[in-house]
Amino acid sequence: MFLYNVILRTIRYCLVNFIIFTLLLSFKRHFSPGILFYEGIIILILSTTILLLYPWKFHNALNDKIHDYYSIIISFFLILTFHTTVITIVDRSISVFIISNVKNGVDDPKLVRENFINNFTTKGIDKRILEQKEIGNVNTDEGQLNLTWKGELYYGFFSLIQKVYNTDKSIIKYDK
């Protein structure tokens, strides 16, 4: 019976946190969209904090509070996983772009390629440059992009990840 209650409590907190997260993120994205990844993280922290206040305020038994806190933390990590592996992928994925084209009647590979170049590449690069400026990884000097110290730090980290996990070598280059 105890295990059943713990599982039920965890499911309940996951659903409540997911609903709060979805409502807040959806509202934010429809009225004032910014960088989806960071917006989601901030809103997830907010929704989880709101939930963490509930056991603190309304439960007297220490054992109940501890189990509630564990359940809320589990919900945080489940939603974080969903946000980073589903929501942000839909916002950036070439594969999702191709699936959408085919679903909407664009079945000629050449036309899919043209749509990609016109919509995803040009607009996508402009969007990503603006994002990188906003988060402080690059700045502009006389019309040229330069890495900031933060950008250099990220480049080093991503280079290490590329080497260790042998990711796509066209993404991280070592020309210099």
Q: What pLDDT shows up at residue 139? A: 95
38-42, 90-94, 161-165: range with highest mean pLDDT: 38-42
| Tokens found for residue 76 | 């945080």
Average pLDDT, whole number, for the chain?
Answer: 88
Residue among 17, 103, 110, 1 nearest 55 (CA): 17
Q: What is the pTM of this model?
A: 0.78
pLDDT digits 0-9 by tens, 60-104: 666 678 888 999 999 999 999 999 999 988 887 888 888 888 999
Phi first, then psi: give them for residue 62, nearest 5 degrees.
Answer: -60, -40
| Segments making up each domain of the chain, as ranges | 2-92, 138-176
The percent of residues above 90 in pLDDT, for the chain, comes to 55
